[in-house]
Amino acid sequence: MYFYCKKGFYLLTFAFIEGKLKFEIIVKAFN
């Protein structure tokens, strides 16, 4: 059970970082 919670946390963190990077790329493209 703990393993799945930890895995879910890593997936959320990765998705957040990936989304932030994509947002920064979009902002740089418009500037």
pTM of the model: 0.56
CA gap 9, 20 in Å, rounded: 17
Banded pLDDT at 6 (limits 50, 70, 90): confident
Mean pLDDT value across residues 6-30: 93
* SS3 assignment, position 7: helix
Tell me, what's the pLDDT at 1? 59
- The pLDDT of residue 17 is above 90: yes
Tell me, what's the pLDDT at 22? 95
CA gap 18, 27 in Å, rounded: 14
